[in-house]
């Protein structure tokens, strides 16, 4: 077996136990007879693999679950508040202003919310801000009548925009 191939295997499959027994035996035989490949095997084990295999595993800090739970509760509250407020508001406005369509109201509200959030609510976590904004825009724009199967807006199940982050 040639050194070039053995070196490739030492850096990958042979070291990681990905070879079949016959292939592994051939590489082992070559390593026994080749000083250069034996030296490479020793270096890979000591410097590129060994240190990581000794790395300690740690538990997540105890405070993380409380933080996650608090954020979940905050997001759930926002969703619940959005579902009750916006349908009533849009129906009221469209009823009082003839000719003003619901899609127009929906997009105007989305723009107003984006501006209001950016101006007034500091978010340390931009990912959370993106999730919140995506969710609000998606929810409000889906209030348009052609997105629904019926007239009762409260039958709509809206998936959160946070799903679109990853």
Partner 1 sequence: MRDISNELVIKAAAGEISAFEDIYRAASGFVYNIALRVTNNRSDADEVTQDVFLSAYNKIGSFEFRSSFKTWIYRIAVNTAINHCKRRIRREKLITAYDPAIHDAAAPDKSDETLRRQEIEKTVVSALEKLDPDQRACVVLREIEGLDYRSIADALSVNINTVRSRLKRARERLLTLRGKE
CB 156, min distance to partner 1, A: 15
Token code pair at residue 91: 């129906």
HEC assignment per residue over 3-57: HHHHHHHHHCCCCCCCCCHHHHHHHHHHHHHCHHHHHHHHHHHHHHHHHHHCCCC
Please state, in angstroms and rounded to a whole number, the distance separating the CA atoms of residues 102 and 106: 6
Residue closer to partner 1 (CB basis): 76 or 147: 76
Token code pair at residue 24: 């592994």
Q: What are phi and psi of 58, to 5 degrees?
A: -120, 155
CB 51, min distance to partner 1, A: 5
Residues that bind partner 1 (CB under 8 A): 8, 11-13, 15-18, 43-44, 47-49, 51-61, 64-65, 67-69, 71-72, 75, 125, 127-128, 131, 159-160, 162-163, 165-166
Residue closer to partner 1 (CB basis): 58 or 152: 58
Residue 50: HSE in the Cβ half-sphere, 13 Å Cα cutoff: 7
CB 12, min distance to partner 1, A: 5
Residue closer to partner 1 (CB basis): 119 or 124: 124
Q: What letter does residue 47 receive in the DSSP assignment? A: I
Token code pair at residue 156: 């709509």
Residue closer to partner 1 (CB basis): 42 or 92: 42
CB 124, min distance to partner 1, A: 10
CB 41, min distance to partner 1, A: 11
Residue closer to partner 1 (CB basis): 56 or 95: 56
């Amino acid at each position: 077996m040639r050194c070039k191939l053995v070196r490739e295997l030492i850096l990958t499959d042979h070291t990681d136990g990905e070879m079949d027994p016959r292939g592994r035996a051939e590489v082992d035989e070559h390593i026994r007879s080749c000083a250069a490949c034996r030296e490479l095997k020793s270096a890979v084990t000591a410097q590129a693999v060994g240190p990581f295999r000794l790395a300690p595993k740690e538990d997540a800090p105890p405070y993380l679950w409380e933080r996650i739970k608090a954020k979940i509760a905050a997001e759930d509250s926002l969703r619940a508040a959005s579902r009750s407020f916006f349908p009533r508001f849009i129906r009221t406005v469209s009823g009082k202003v003839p000719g003003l369509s619901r899609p127009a109201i929906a997009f105007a509200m989305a723009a107003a919310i984006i501006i209001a959030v950016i101006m007034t609510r500091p978010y340390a976590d931009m990912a959370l801000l993106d999730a919140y904004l995506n969710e609000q825009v998606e929810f409000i724009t889906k209030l348009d009548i052609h997105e629904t199967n019926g007239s009762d807006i409260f039958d709509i199940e809206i998936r959160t925009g946070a799903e679109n982050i990853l």
